[in-house]
Amino acid sequence: MMTKNQINEREQLEMLTIEQLVPQNHLVRKLDAAIDFSFIYPLVEDLYSTIGRPSIDPVVLIKMTFIQYTFGIRSMRQTIKEIETNVAYRWFLGFGFHTEVPHFSTFGKNYVRRFADTDLFEQIFYKVLNEVTNRGLLSPDHVFIDSTHVKASANKRKFEKKVVRKETRAYEKRLQEELNLDREKNGKKPFPPEKFETEEYKEIKESTTDPESGYYVKDERTKQFAYSFHAATDEKGFVLANIVTPGNVHDSNMLEPLVQKIIDQVGRPIV
C-alpha cells in the first residue's frame, strides 16, 4: 500500500546538539581523534599581529582545507557552501548550528596575506606524516617515485618564445663525478670543470598568462601549459615527499631532490 507523508515536520522544534547528529563512525570523528590540531598555533603565531581585530581561528582555516581534500570537494568556494549545510563538517570545525561560516573571500585573503609565501602546509604535511610513522604505519625503506601533469589555467596559444640555458640532468652530473674519480684512481688528472660546462641553449614557450607553468608536449594532440607533480611514496602508498615544477621539467631532474627530502624528514631509504 502506498503511503503519503501527510505530516510536515520541518518546523518541528527539537532539543538536540550537533554532537548527537554525527555518526560515531564518521570519518570526521576519526580525523579529530587521530590529529591534535593545536600544533598549528605555534606554527602560525608569527604570522599574526598582537593588536587589531580578532582573526578567524587559524585551525578552522586549516581544517577547512582538510575537509576539501579529504572529501574531494573541487574548490574552496564549494567547500564553504558544503560546510554551511553539512552537520558533520560543522562538528569537525567546532561550529554550532548557527555559527557563521567564514566567507570565501575571507579564506582567500588569509591565505594570500599570511600563508601563501610560507611553508606552513609542508610543515603540517610532515607533522601528520610523523604521526603516521609513530603509529608504525609507514614503510620508508622502499621508495617509489612518479609524476603526473596538471593542466595550468592558461591558454596554450598565448605565449612568448624565449631562449634559456639547458639544465644538466642529475645522472649527467653523477657521470661527470665518476669519470673524474676514475681518472684520479688511475693517476690521471681530473677533467677541469670547463670540460663539462658547455653552454647549451634551447628555445621554450613561456605562457603570458601563467609564466610559472611549462609547455608540455605528450603527443600531437596533447600540447598544453602544465605543472608536473613529482611524488615519492612508500610501498603502502603513503606520500613521503613531493615537488611541483613547471610541466617541462624532466623527471630525472627531481629524483635527487625528492630523495633528499625523504632523508631529511623521514630517513634514508634502502631502495
Render pLDDT for 134-174 as a digit per residue (tens, 0 to 9).
Answer: 888 888 888 899 999 999 988 888 888 877 666 655 555 66
Tell me if 10 is assigned to some domain: no
Same domain, 124 and 144: no
Query: In this structure, is residue 1 part of a structural domain?
Result: no
The residue that leads in pLDDT, 118 or 183, is 118
- End of a domain among 80, 100, 133? 133
Look at residue 93 and tell me whether its pLDDT is greater than 60: yes
Within-domain flag for 105: yes
Reply yes or no on whether the pLDDT at 23 is more than 90.
yes
CA angle 259, 260, 264 (to 5 degrees): 120
Q: Are residues 155 and 259 in the same domain?
A: yes
Q: Which of 107, 133, 159 is the last residue of a domain?
A: 133
Residue 271 lies in a domain: no
257 grid coordinates: 631532490
Contact indicator for 153, 75 with CB cutoff of 8 Å: no
Mean pLDDT over 197-215 rounds to 79
What would the mean pLDDT of 80-89 be, rounded to a whole number?
96
Residues 253 and 234 in one domain: yes
* Domain-embedded: residue 11: no
Shared domain check, 187 and 121: no
Looking at the structure, tell me whether residues 153 and 63 fall in a common domain: no
Kindly state whether residues 22 and 109 are assigned to the same domain.
yes
Is 216 among the domain residues? yes
Same domain (yes/no): 24, 38: yes
What's the Cα-to-Cα distance from 269 to each of 136, 259, 265, rounded to whole Å?
16, 8, 11
Average pLDDT (32-45) is 92
**270: in domain:** no
Q: Are residues 128 and 145 in the same domain?
A: no
Read off the pTM. Answer: 0.73
Q: Which range of residues forms the domain containing residue 203?
A: 138-265
If asked whether residues 96 and 122 sit together in one domain, one would say yes
Own/partner contacts of 89-93, CB < 8 Å, gap of 24 or more, are 89/28, 90/18, 91/18, 91/19, 91/21, 91/22, 91/28, 92/28, 92/31, 92/32, 92/63, 92/66, 92/67, 93/60, 93/63, 93/64, 93/67
The yes-or-no verdict on residue 47 having pLDDT over 60 is: yes
Rounded CA separation 79/2 (Å): 38
Does one domain contain both 152 and 234?
yes
Query: Does residue 62 or residue 161 have the better pLDDT?
Result: 62
Query: Is residue 86 scored above 80 in pLDDT?
Result: yes
Task: Give the domain-ending residue among 106, 133, 160.
Answer: 133
Domain count of the fold of the chain: 2
Q: Is 92 exposed, middle or buried (0-12, 13-18, 19+ CB in 10 A)?
A: buried
Q: Is residue 147 a contact partner of residue 242, using CB atoms and an 8 Å limit?
A: no
* One domain for residues 66 and 154: no
**Based on the domain organization, do 121 and 229 belong to the same domain?**
no
Specify if 169 maps to a domain: yes
Provide the percentage of residues in the chain whose pLDDT is more than 90.
35
Spatial separation of the C-alpha atoms in residues 175 and 58, rounded to whole Å = 48
Weakest-pLDDT range from 36-45, 141-150, 185-194: 185-194
Query: Given a cut of 70, is residue 70 above it in pLDDT?
Result: yes
